[in-house]
Amino acid sequence: MILADEADVLEEAFFRADVSDVSSLEYREQDLEDYAEYLHIKRDIIPDIRPYFSISEEQRCEKHGIPTSSCGCGESRQVQAAIYHLNPEILVEEWVTSVRDTDTFDSVELETVDSTRYVLKAWLERTKITFQCFFDRNEMEKYDFKPQAMEFGVSFFGDQQMVEREHRYSWREFLEDDFRDKITTDIKHLKEAIGSDFYEYQPLEDFRDRVRQSLRDYFSESGYEVRREVGEVCAVETTQYGIDTGKTDFVAHRDGSKFIICHCEKTPGWHVHHFSDGRIESAEQTPIIEDMTGKIESKINTYQDIRLNKQTASKFVTLLATFFSIGFVVLFLDRLGLITSVLQEQFQLGGNLQLIAFVLLLFDALAAIALAAVVTRPYVRDVLFSWSVNPFDGDSIASDD
């Protein structure tokens, strides 16, 4: 496992690199000791970082530290020197071991592309992330990353400006305690840019078509052209970002802005992809999507509440029907004169039988009124309910029921 101070010395060595491929750099043991001293590391760290280098004995100019053929000094100036070259394979393997030990990811796999290129595949909950790892700055600059496919870059060289670019990380960051929080936040923001969820998709199966039509009408009445042929209207966008057009519902577009209502695999729920002049942008903070989400969520919640109340009313009908039956049986037995003897023997209530009958009749009447109110209310709400939502006007408040 790579310890923090070991990583600091290595990072310092890479940061001082003035070549593209850090594995081509030459170090001497004194260089590494100087880096440790610069970082105020007191312990003898060289034995612990030595395994990350291949070491060879070579002739060097005692004054310039390079071959005499390069500096022009005579052979008399040559001395035997231990030359350190970074061994990327050893460092990467130990780095992956350290990453596993941090529990940043649920699992990781390493693949080798060549001596300066490696691929780390990591799983974070249900998200698969591919990290392209580079020891050569020029190779990283030329690589076309696909962040929308969860593909990011990792630098093993010391170019801070390169690392600060979006969706690129330093190998050192992976060893920090808060990296899981950082990568989780970055992925969340990226997914929000790729697709913004507005509701769960599966639970709406029974009335999904009504929601879909409501959304079409909303965009249409808000001044957007609505088309079902998403593959035709957004051919470039869907291809570039790998959106499955078989799982798109429709596209609403106007003035270079396109909103695709979709249930593809990019996010778990029913969501919106937003494109502006061909570039994907976050839909979540878009005023019309904020307005739409609030209004359609309110509609869905209201409709689900009506359905639940109808189910509750059905159970209540059964309960009250039982009480009605008891009341009518009692009255029927009374008229036959069969209950008087029972009441006299058990409760001595024979003289109050007419009062009991009146109370039962009153209860039945009140129960009938309550039954009518409970049973009819959700059905009346269902008849009056409309999936229509007010169009976006810039000042809409998402409270439309």
User: What's the pTM?
Assistant: 0.59
Is 32 in contact with 84 (CB distance < 8 Å)?
yes
Structure-block tokens of residue 199 = 């509701």
Q: What pLDDT, on a 0 to 100 scale, did the predictor assign at position 292?
A: 93
Say yes or no to pLDDT of 400 above 80. no
pLDDT at 96 over 90: yes
SS3 344: helix
pLDDT for the residue 320: 60
At 398 the pLDDT is: 40
CA proximity to 253, closest of 240, 239, 269, 237: 237
pLDDT digits (tens, 9 = 90+) for 226-279: 999 999 999 988 887 788 999 999 999 999 899 999 998 888 889 999 998 888
Q: Which pLDDT score, from 0 to 100, does residue 21 have?
A: 84
The pLDDT of residue 281 is 82
H or E element at residue 78: strand 78-86
Q: What is the mean pLDDT of the chain?
A: 82
What is residue 36's predicted lDDT score, i.e. its pLDDT? 93
pLDDT at 347 over 70: no
SS3 82: strand
Q: In the chain, what's the furthest Cα-to-Cα distance?
A: 136
Full strand arrangement of the beta sheet holding 117-124 = 107-114, 117-124, 127-134, 151-155, 168-170
What architecture is the 92-193 domain classified under in CATH?
Answer: 3-Layer(aba) Sandwich (3.40)
Q: CA 177 to CA 197: how far, in whole Å?
A: 30
Q: What does the pLDDT read at residue 372?
A: 67
Per-residue pLDDT tens for 221-241? Answer: 999 999 999 999 999 888 877
- 203 or 314: which carries more pLDDT confidence? 203
pLDDT at 72: 75
Which run of H or of E encompasses 60?
A: strand 53-61
Closest CA to 302 of 222, 214, 396, 226: 214
Using the structure block, give the residue that is written with the tokens 């499955």. Answer: 244
Percent of the chain exceeding pLDDT 90 equals 39
Does 163 have pLDDT greater than 70? Answer: no
- Residue the block writes with tokens 């913004």: 196
If you compute the radius of gyration of the chain from its CA atoms, what whole number of angstroms results?
A: 37
Residue extents of the structural domains in the chain: 4-86, 92-193, 195-285, 293-384
pLDDT range class, residue 396, cuts 50, 70, 90: very low
